[in-house]
């Protein structure tokens, strides 16, 4: 990292940014909005239309529309600040705000998709056909040591390392490619959210409780319809409850988990996407640093019963597809 970091952060950026006009140094659009902001605008508009078309099936559509206006107003406010003070610090705040809003868009998928019922019986049946059992039910029972539990939960929590830390690693080490990297990451998230909006799958921790563990073990996987439209009750996650990793994941679960977004696993999809980004940019030491957390993350999605095994497999392929779809091959070696 360069010595003149303070100067880089707060000195005005050079480029054709102008005030309220000709496009920022990173901006793809004429008005200087960066690509991940445009991705957020597109998803917000898409879900606004979805709300209008499904108005009578939603619990509180007015609130959902107001939330979107609030989210977007924050983005526009930071854009205005950047026009007045175009420096890297403000750009870091713009990206940070988008990252923070992901924590709001995710549970929002539950409010949109619960009107469509639950498709868990379909996805759980895929696991049953592929493995002859439910791996999410058996994994933690077979490997029930404290060490395995802690590795799994720490791996699952490392999810935030992949997209948050990586974003700012790129910010400091290759600022000129920040926009493309964040476009890949946010485009990946919003693409997953579109799937969740129309294909609601809650995951084993919810579905298994609703059906009953004995029924699941016997291979009975009934359609529970709109069961989760009125409840968010789930199983207590398995594993060593006094472990640091378990407590960290429990804290995040309490903050924003909902019976939604299981298929495909966005944890695996986004982590895979980030691994491909890092490899494409030839950041080999950082890729090696991420390797073990990535492995444990992929396994943990099934171990903690957040996902069916097929969710994680689909997430792996989704990560590759997102990388190609959003232009990952255009990335260059880190400068």
Per-residue pLDDT of 142-198, as tens digits, reads: 999 999 999 999 999 999 999 999 999 999 999 999 999 999 999 999 999 999 999
Question: What is the span of the domain harbouring residue 40?
Answer: 12-330
- DSSP H helix total and E strand total for the chain: 16, 0
**Residue, of 263 and 20, whose pLDDT is higher:** 263
Question: Is 3 part of any domain?
Answer: no
Q: Is 46 exposed, middle or buried (0-12, 13-18, 19+ CB in 10 A)?
A: middle
| 116-128 tens-digit pLDDT | 999 999 999 999 9
Confidence of residue 266 (pLDDT cuts 50, 70, 90): very high
Tokens of 310: 């097929």
pLDDT of residue 18: 39
Contacts of 173 (CB under 8 A, 6+ apart): 1, 283, 334
- Report the distance separating Cα 252 and Cα 21, nearest Å: 40
Residue 199 contacts residue 112 (beta carbons within 8 Å) = no
- Report the distance separating Cα 27 and Cα 20, nearest Å: 12
pLDDT above 50 (res 101): yes
Tokens of 207: 């579905």
pLDDT of residue 14: 65
Residue 242 contacts residue 183 (beta carbons within 8 Å) = no
Confidence of residue 11 (pLDDT cuts 50, 70, 90): confident
Question: Is 152 part of any domain?
Answer: yes
pLDDT above 50 (res 1): no
**CA-closest candidate to residue 152, choices 233, 234, 261, 244:** 244
**If you count them, how many residues does the chain have?**
335
Q: Which helix (H) or strand (E) holds 62?
A: helix 61-84
Average pLDDT, the chain: 92
pLDDT of residue 292: 97
Confidence of residue 15 (pLDDT cuts 50, 70, 90): low
pLDDT of residue 295: 98
pLDDT of residue 26: 53
Confidence of residue 242 (pLDDT cuts 50, 70, 90): very high
- The DSSP output letter for 13 is P
Dihedral class, residue 134 (left if φ above 0, else alpha if ψ from -120 to 50, else beta):
beta
- Average of pLDDT values for 127-151? 97
The domain total for the chain is 1
pLDDT of residue 30: 56
- Report the distance separating Cα 107 and Cα 71, nearest Å: 14
- Average of pLDDT values for 81-97? 94
For tokens 């059906």, name the residue.
Answer: 211
pLDDT above 50 (res 222): yes
pLDDT above 80 (res 31): no
What SS3 class is residue 25? coil
**Residue, of 73 and 9, whose pLDDT is higher:** 73
Question: Is 7 part of any domain?
Answer: no
Question: Is 6 part of any domain?
Answer: no
Question: Is 27 part of any domain?
Answer: yes
pLDDT of residue 273: 98
Residue 157 contacts residue 252 (beta carbons within 8 Å) = yes
Question: Is 1 part of any domain?
Answer: no
Q: What percent of the chain has pLDDT over 90?
A: 85
Question: Is 5 part of any domain?
Answer: no
Question: Is 2 part of any domain?
Answer: no
- The 10 Å Cβ neighbour count of residue 3 is 7
pLDDT above 50 (res 288): yes
What pTM, to 2 d.p., does this model score? 0.93
- Report the distance separating Cα 92 and Cα 172, nearest Å: 10
pLDDT of residue 24: 44
- Average of pLDDT values for 80-96? 94
pLDDT of residue 255: 79
- Average of pLDDT values for 51-67? 94
Q: Is 4 exposed, middle or buried (0-12, 13-18, 19+ CB in 10 A)?
A: exposed
């Amino acid at each position: 990292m360069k010595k003149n970091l303070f100067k880089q952060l707060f000195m005005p950026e050079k480029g054709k940014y102008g005030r309220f006009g000709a496009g920022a140094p990173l901006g793809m659009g004429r008005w200087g909005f960066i690509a991940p902001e445009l991705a957020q605008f597109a998803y917000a508009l898409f879900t606004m239309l979805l709300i209008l078309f499904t108005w009578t099936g939603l619990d509180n559509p007015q609130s959902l529309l107001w939330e979107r206006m609030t989210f977007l107003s924050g983005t526009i406010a930071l854009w205005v600040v950047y026009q007045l003070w175009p420096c890297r610090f403000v750009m870091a705040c713009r990206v940070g705000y988008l990252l923070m809003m992901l924590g709001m868009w995710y549970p929002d998928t539950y409010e949109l998709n619960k009107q469509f019922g639950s498709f868990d019986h379909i996805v759980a049946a895929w696991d049953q056909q592929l493995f002859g059992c439910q791996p999410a039910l058996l994994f933690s029972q077979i490997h029930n040591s404290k060490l395995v539990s802690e590795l799994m939960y720490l791996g699952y929590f490392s999810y935030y390392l992949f997209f948050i830390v990586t974003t700012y690693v790129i910010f400091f080490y290759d600022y000129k490619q920040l926009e493309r990297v964040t476009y890949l990451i946010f485009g990946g998230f919003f693409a997953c959210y579109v799937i969740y909006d129309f294909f609601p799958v809650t995951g084993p921790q919810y579905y298994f409780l609703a059906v009953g563990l004995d029924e699941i073990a016997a291979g009975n996987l009934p359609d529970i319809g709109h069961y989760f439209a009125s409840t968010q009750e789930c199983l207590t996650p398995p594993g060593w409850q006094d472990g640091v990793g378990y407590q960290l994941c429990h804290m995040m679960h309490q903050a924003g988990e909902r019976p939604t977004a299981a298929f495909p696993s966005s944890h695996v999809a986004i982590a895979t996407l980030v691994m491909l980004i890092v490899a494409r940019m030839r950041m080999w030491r950082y890729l090696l640093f991420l390797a073990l957390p990535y492995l444990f993350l992929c396994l943990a999605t099934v171990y903690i019963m957040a996902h069916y095994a097929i969710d994680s497999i689909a997430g792996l392929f989704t990560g590759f597809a997102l990388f190609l779809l959003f232009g990952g091959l255009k990335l260059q070696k880190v400068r």
